[in-house]
Amino acid sequence: MPNDLDRTKVTFEQAEGIDPLPAQLKPQELSPPLRAGLWAILHRHLVNATQHVEYGRPVLREPWRGMLEGLHIWHRHKPADEFTSHSEPHIAAMKRILMSGAYHEVYGTLQYLVRLQSCPISFRADIKQVLLFRNAGYRLIDGPPPTLVPISSDEEAGISAQAFAAVSSSPRYQGAKVHLVSAAARLSEGDWAGAIRESMQAVESVARVITGENTFANALKVLETRWKIHGALKTGFGRLYDYTSAEQGLRHPLLDDPNASVDEVDAMFMFGACAAFVTYLVNKATPK
């Protein structure tokens, strides 16, 4: 059934509509896979920088010894005489931060490290790759200086949250809700083409429900006349729908190449645009 959500493809919270936003719109949250990936990178670099002495405890080699000393004094503001070159306490402390620390503690620590002139280029590259691969809400740009920046704003998250509230306002919008939840899940998974398809189908579902028309094109015509939707707005979404429906677009089931040429930027734009239009349509159709 079109209104049934495949719960095997989303988290329980997403399926219930409790946690509908994609990871990119939740920059202050770090998923377990993201934390594990970041820690795996830092742990590998620290282990590789550990020198095992014949007698005594393992110690850190440069540049990591100096990097962590700077972190200890200038970022965490701890007494210099409490710093140790032994590797075990630093590995334990870094694990605690990356695996259970608040988002600002995690990103603040990483940004301090990658900005150091002595930071290995490979560490910066590894961190950048993990943030991208795990669809984190923050990404590392090269700078100078290297900087962690959010890829979305509070306003974008608010627009998406409003859309989920709108489609949750009535059972008749269940189909649209399913598509929005699926779009958010696909964004979090990195399925850009799938996210665009589901985003547009959410708009299509609402438009057909409130007009009673069987096709999106006819629904747009009714929307233009019944609710006085601006012609330019109608034309714009009509063209977006045509793009996602065309044989060389994203929704055609018989594409020779199943990987449509879209990226995260395209998917984030379509998700936000469709979420805003869904809210607009529901509000238009709601009696005042």
Same domain, 72 and 184: no
Phi first, then psi: give them for residue 18, nearest 5 degrees.
-80, -35
Provide the pLDDT for residue 128: 94
Same domain, 11 and 125: no
Same domain, 169 and 60: no
Same domain, 166 and 230: yes
Provide the pLDDT for residue 110: 95
User: What does the pLDDT look like over 170-198, one tens digit per residue?
Assistant: 899 999 988 988 888 788 777 888 888 88
Contact 186, 194 (CB under 8 A): yes
Same domain, 159 and 142: no
Question: Sign (positive/negative) of CA torsion 135, 141, 147, 150?
Answer: negative
Q: Which domain holds residue 174?
A: 7-26+153-285
Residue with tokens 């405890």: 57
pLDDT classification of 19: cutoffs 50, 70, 90: low
Q: For residue 1, is it within any domain?
A: no
Same domain, 185 and 255: yes
Q: For residue 90, is it within any domain?
A: yes
How many domains does the chain fold into?
2
Same domain, 131 and 175: no
User: What does the pLDDT look like over 127-164, one tens digit per residue?
Assistant: 999 998 888 888 898 877 888 887 777 777 778 888 88
DSSP string, 230-255: -HHHHHHHHHHHHHHHSTTSSS-TT-
Provide the pLDDT for residue 124: 96
User: What does the pLDDT look like over 8-18, one tens digit per residue?
Assistant: 655 666 566 55
User: What does the pLDDT look like over 104-123, one tens digit per residue?
Assistant: 999 999 999 999 999 999 99
Q: For residue 2, is it within any domain?
A: no
Provide the pLDDT for residue 247: 39
Q: Which two tokens stand for residue 134?
A: 């795990």
Whether pTM > 0.85 for this model: the answer is no
Same domain, 134 and 211: no
Domain end marker among 126, 150, 174 = 150
User: What does the pLDDT look like over 56-108, one tens digit per residue?
Assistant: 789 999 999 999 999 999 999 999 999 999 999 999 999 999 999 998 999 99
Share of residues in the chain with pLDDT > 90 (%) = 35
Same domain, 142 and 177: no
User: What does the pLDDT look like over 206-220, one tens digit per residue?
Assistant: 988 988 888 777 888
Provide the pLDDT for residue 253: 40
Domain end marker among 116, 150, 184 = 150
Same domain, 54 and 140: yes
Alpha helices for the chain (secondary structure H): 12-15, 32-48, 64-70, 87-100, 103-115, 121-133, 154-167, 174-189, 192-211, 216-226, 231-245, 264-285
Same domain, 114 and 249: no
pLDDT classification of 235: cutoffs 50, 70, 90: confident
Provide the pLDDT for residue 218: 83
Domain end marker among 125, 150, 175 = 150
- 277 Cβ contact partners less than 8 Å away, ≥ 6 residues apart: 203, 237
